[in-house]
Structure 1
Amino acid sequence: MQNGSGHGCLMANPPTDGITSLRFSNHTDNLIVSSWDGNVRLYDVSSNVLRGCFAHMGPVLDCCFHDDNSGFSGSSDRTVRRHDFANGRSDVIGKHDGAVRCVEYSHYIGQVLSGSWDKTLRCWDPRAPTPQERSIGIYEMPDRVYSMSVVGYRLVIATAGRHVVIYDTRNMSQPEQRKESPLKFQSRCVRCYPNGTGYALSSIEGRVAMEFFDPSEAWQAKKYAFKCHRKSDAGRDTVYPVNAIAFHPVYGTFATGGCDGYVNVWDGTNKKRLYQYQKYPTSIAALSFSRDGRLLAVASSYTFEEGEKVHPPDQIFIRNVNELEVKPKPRPYTAAT
């Protein structure tokens, strides 16, 4: 694997246009990647090999794994597709009336969940033989779906208009909660805590909110928001969108990636930044930790926040993660008085 000059090792054969999503498998070092070039790719990170590539008819806006050798994707061509990289097969699971922005697979209920700019969430059974039979439910959202995340039986959806909708996937008849984002600007990314107690939500205005599912006063007192991915020059702040959030699977700390090209690692419990990696060539479009937290995949890919311009090539870096970068530091001991 080619060395990326302090950023990690470069993956060979990267996408040829903006990277929209990348995710490690839950069981191997396989990495699934979607991009604006209309393709979904599967990489074996350990050997730096592109194992397969499937095309949509338009830009692919999200992807996720089904198992180690197959996955799902959503595209601006309005389709949700399944890709079997082991057998070289790809088929349409279902369709929306607008671009499919988000796709998740819930192992708990065995369903594919897709969120679209048509303002709907749709659920699909990938085991059914035809697209018509795969459709399980269509649920109206308050606005266009921008980001989704699942943990256990909970599904969190962030939409345009700063809406947040939370479902228990065992009962989709109505949302468990409907909330307004505590952040004042457009939501960009939502990711659930690995322990299932809440979620982190980022915005285009350099902030992240730490939220909790439990509506009790004790739990709601723990929520907070913080500023990040901004710089001050001569007393003037430049603020960058926070495009990506990824939780460490062992320690529960998390990484954020912004349009400033930086990846920061945070201890949410102690409200501290643990580490900042060397600046990447361009915007951070997506992040994912491997199943054991040893590796961090970083998509350095311009997100067009400043419009069309000459920019560095789209690249995927794989970092070896040092425990000191992600492990929470113990709180100082205070003797009782």
Structure 2
Amino acid sequence: MSSPAEFQLASPPSDGISSVTFAPAGSLNTDMLLASCWDSTLRLYNAATNTLLANFAHASAVLDSTFGPEGRVCYSGAVDGSLSSCDITTGAQSTLGGHAQGIRCVKFDPATGLVVTGSWDESVKLWDARTARCVSTHQQSAKVFAMACTSDSKLIVGTADRHILIWDLRKMESVLQRRESSLKFQTRCIQPFSNGHGYVLGSIEGRIAVEYIDPSPAVQQKKYAFKCHRVPINGVNTIYPVNSISFHPLYNTFASGGGDGIVSIWDGLNKRRICQLRPYPTSIASLAFNHDGSLLAIASSYTFEEGEKDMPNDAIFIRRITDADVQPK
């Protein structure tokens, strides 16, 4: 059940939710929310009015999506490797191209006008949003499992071999940095600091790492990792994956969602948890703050940490955020 501080979106997906993302600042309607789904749909909601605006059908499961320039177009990547564009104002859909295997991540960088796709075929492709054409392909060290763009056009890629590759989208001739994750287990999610100076990693083993991009030893000494999303069950500490991380746009604090159905909000700079939200019906598959941090979208959708079993229906909750929830203390 939802609390007075939140509500559940009507017309939820009929199968697993892979990602949720709000329209960025400067969009035609910043209350728009995209939900990519395993039921082969990309759903567009107005979170403020709790309305399903559009339901874009795809040929296969949709793994990620993002808004393009001014929130007029959205882009989605599917398990069949196709990259699609959907015009929000006209409803027109088209396939721009794709990868040899599933597209796991889709991001848009407004500074360069590039749509970036990361795939299980071990490559990243850059697409010009104006011409809808692929402009370059860049080999990665293994399958792309997570990806993020920073505010200064850095691209951070997390691969299946636990490597972190940092690129500059304006100069893709060679990788800027190649690192091994400080977490011992598979990378599940990456999100950049609001100020672009670093990023946070989440792993399948209930840990989060706070990392910095500046390679100087003085800055690298600040990085650290901590345990989270662990629940004592019958005296045994059960560990759940960190499925999603989202940064608050004003305070540079961040929310994490895990397979335990818990959302926690952290002050990474001061190394403390600010609060923990009420338990949700099942795994937190994805999280997203809106453009001003007043809303948090929470996708409650089982992510199969415990194999096949009966679970509650998929749901997207919209939580109204107060300063007490996210402001460093």
Same fold per superposition (TM over 0.5) = yes
Q: Could you say which residue in structure 2 is the equivalent of 1:19?
A: 17
* SS of the residue 1:318 aligns to: strand
For the 8 Å contact 1:7–1:280, the answer to whether it is kept is no
Q: Could you say which residue in structure 1 is the equivalent of 2:55?
A: 53
Question: Following superposition, which runs of at least 4 residues in structure 1 exceed 3 angstroms of deviation?
Answer: none
CA distance in 2, matches of 1:255, 1:6: 20
Q: Could you say which residue in structure 1 is the equivalent of 2:126?
A: 123
CA distance in 2, matches of 1:6, 1:261: 19
2:44 to 39, 42, 46: 42
Percent identity of the aligned residues? 47
Whether 1:328 aligns to 2:322 is no
CA distance in 2, matches of 1:126, 1:295: 28
CA distance in 2, matches of 1:6, 1:239: 30
For the 8 Å contact 2:147–2:156, the answer to whether it is kept is yes
Whether 1:73 aligns to 2:76 is yes
For the 8 Å contact 2:5–2:320, the answer to whether it is kept is no
Aligned residue type for 1:69: R
Aligned residue type for 1:39: T
Superposition RMSD in Å: 1.2
Q: Deviations over 1:85-123 (max 9, x none)?
A: 210101112210001110001111111100000111011
CA distance in 1, matches of 2:323, 2:237: 32
Deviates more, 1:21-30 or 1:310-319: 21-30
Q: Could you say which residue in structure 2 is the equivalent of 1:266?
A: 266
For the 8 Å contact 1:300–1:315, the answer to whether it is kept is yes
Q: Report the alpha carbon displacement of residue 236 of structure 1 after superposing the two structures with TM.
A: 2.5
Query: How many residues matched?
Result: 323
Q: Report the alpha carbon displacement of residue 233 of structure 1 after superposing the two structures with TM.
A: 4.2
CA distance in 2, matches of 1:195, 1:206: 25
For the 8 Å contact 2:157–2:165, the answer to whether it is kept is yes
CA distance in 2, matches of 1:192, 1:282: 26
Q: How does 1:105-144 map to 2 (within 5 A)?
A: 105-128=108-131, 134-144=133-143
Task: Classify 1:316/1:290 alpha carbon distance in 2 versus 1 (closer, same or farther; 3 Å).
Answer: same
Q: Could you say which residue in structure 2 is the equivalent of 1:332?
A: none
CA distance in 1, matches of 2:327, 2:8: 25
Q: Report the alpha carbon displacement of residue 125 of structure 1 after superposing the two structures with TM.
A: 1.1
Q: Could you say which residue in structure 2 is the equivalent of 1:31?
A: 33
Q: Deviations over 1:161-182 (max 9, x none)?
A: 1011100111101110001000
Aligned residue type for 1:51: L
Task: Classify 1:187/1:122 alpha carbon distance in 2 versus 1 (closer, same or farther; 3 Å).
Answer: same
Q: Report the alpha carbon displacement of residue 69 of structure 1 after superposing the two structures with TM.
A: 3.5
Task: Classify 1:95/1:207 alpha carbon distance in 2 versus 1 (closer, same or farther; 3 Å).
Answer: same
CA distance in 1, matches of 2:238, 2:67: 36
* SS of the residue 1:324 aligns to: helix
Q: Report the alpha carbon displacement of residue 203 of structure 1 after superposing the two structures with TM.
A: 0.2
Consecutive unaligned residues of structure 2, counting only runs of 5 or more, are: none
Q: Which has the larger radius of gyration?
A: 1
CA distance in 2, matches of 1:17, 1:234: 31
* SS of the residue 2:161 aligns to: helix
Aligned residue type for 2:44: L
For the 8 Å contact 2:240–2:305, the answer to whether it is kept is no
* SS of the residue 1:238 aligns to: strand
CA distance in 2, matches of 1:227, 1:157: 22
For the 8 Å contact 2:84–2:94, the answer to whether it is kept is yes
CA distance in 2, matches of 1:251, 1:26: 17
Q: Report the alpha carbon displacement of residue 6 of structure 1 after superposing the two structures with TM.
A: 5.5
Q: Could you say which residue in structure 1 is the equivalent of 2:282?
A: 282
Task: Classify 1:305/1:219 alpha carbon distance in 2 versus 1 (closer, same or farther; 3 Å).
Answer: same
CA distance in 1, matches of 2:305, 2:233: 20
CA distance in 2, matches of 1:189, 1:7: 27
Q: Deviations over 1:144-170 (max 9, x none)?
A: 101110012100000101011100111
Consecutive unaligned residues of structure 1, counting only runs of 5 or more, are: 330-337
